[in-house]
Structure 1
Amino acid sequence: MAQTAGVKPMTIAGRVASERERCIGMTDAERAWRKQWLQDQVLASNEPVHVEEYWRERTNPIRRFYRKPLDVLFTKLSPVLGQERAINYRYITGKLGLMAIGVLSIHYYFKYQGNDWTKKGGWRVLKTKPMVLPGQPGFPYKSERCNDNDYAERGFKKATI
């Protein structure tokens, strides 16, 4: 369900939210309303209030499970680091951990699960022919493939069957 339950959201600031509208002219009632509205925007000294039950209800159990280790670690580190710094370090550590898992997963895939003659699927990685210009050693370039049977063999000749 949408946050507004299908009703179009409206701002409570009204027409005096825009500086241009305020410069056109405001009535005394609008000035009093604007003054009260600005006073209401000031947070109390104890805000924002963290209500544990509220956040537990708003996050799903799987998310709470995988976030728990870093939450426990940085809760213990927050007296040393400070609350704001601990939150920032926790965020950065989580993102770097996900990036490391991604890099290691890609490395594992290409090392152990790549496409060869035994598999039908998978990503096929091909090496392109190197650019050898006249005057460079190895010109003209000769392929390592000796005959037509060597093309598209996908590691079959290296198999130890």
Structure 2
Amino acid sequence: MAQTAGVKPMSIAGRVASERERCLGMTDVERAWRKQWLKDQVLAPNEPVHVEAYWKERTNIIRRIYRAPLDNLFKGLTPVLGASRAADYRYITGKLGLIFFGIFAGHYYFKYNANDWTRKGGWRVHKSKPMVLPGQPGFPKKSDRTKGSDYANTGFKHAPDV
């Protein structure tokens, strides 16, 4: 949700927000207003207040479910680490967990869903010919494919006889 909920933001400080404007001269009404405005900017010692019911209403049930394990873990670590450090560690742990899960899922997919002759789908992975420069052994590097049927081969030639 946007910070202003779709309403254009406006400054409540008025013309006295700028020091230059205040130096030009302020009326007694503006001074009293500015004094009250400055007092209103001071937060109470218990702020910001975390209201559990308000947070529950604003967050999706699915989000609350997938956040629950790390929230419970770091709720216990907060007295040891401190609120700020525990929040930072919780954030970093969640992001690293998602990165590791993504790497694992990608590895699993490419390992067990190869594009071969037994199935229609899967990503086709091409291996390029290694680079051999002049002066290196094996220059010029010839192709390993000797016949036309070697191209676009999806493993059928190497399949075990059934």
Q: How many Å separate the matches in 2 of 1:5 and 1:59?
A: 16
- For 1:2 and 1:78, the matched residues in 2 are separated by 29
Structure 1 runs (4+) deviating above 6 angstroms are: none
User: Following the alignment from structure 1 to structure 2, what is the Cα–Cα distance between the partners of residues 159 and 20?
Assistant: 83
- Equivalent AA in structure 2 for residue 157 of structure 1: K
In the alignment, the residues of structure 2 paired with residue 16 and residue 69 of structure 1 have an alpha-carbon distance, to the nearest angstrom, of 48
The root-mean-square deviation of aligned C-alpha atoms, in Å, is 2.2
Shift of 1:52: 0.7
1:28 aligns with 28
Q: Which amino acid aligns with 1:73?
A: L
Measure, in 2, the Cα distance between the counterparts of 1:19 and 1:75: 44
Alpha-carbon distance in structure 2 between the residues aligned to 1:145 and 1:117 = 18
TM-score, length-scaled by structure 1: 0.87
Structure 1 residue aligned with 2:13:
13
- CA distance change for structure 1 residues 89 and 6 in 2, over 3 Å: closer, same or farther? closer
1:14 maps to a residue whose letter is G
Deviation (angstroms), 1:83: 1.6
1:40 deviates by 0.6
Unaligned runs of 5+ in 1: none
Cα separation, 1, equivalents of 2:127 and 2:71: 44
1:117 corresponds to which letter in structure 2? W
CA shift digits 1:62-120 (9 cap, x unpaired): 11111111111111111111121111111111111111101101111111113223343
Aligned length: 161
Unaligned residue ranges in structure 2 (runs of 5+): none
Question: Which residue of structure 2 aligns with residue 152 of structure 1?
Answer: 152
Q: TM-score, normalised by structure 2?
A: 0.87
Identity of aligned residues (%): 75
Change (3 A) 1:3 1:91: closer
Cα distance in 1 for residues equivalent to 2:101 and 2:132:
38
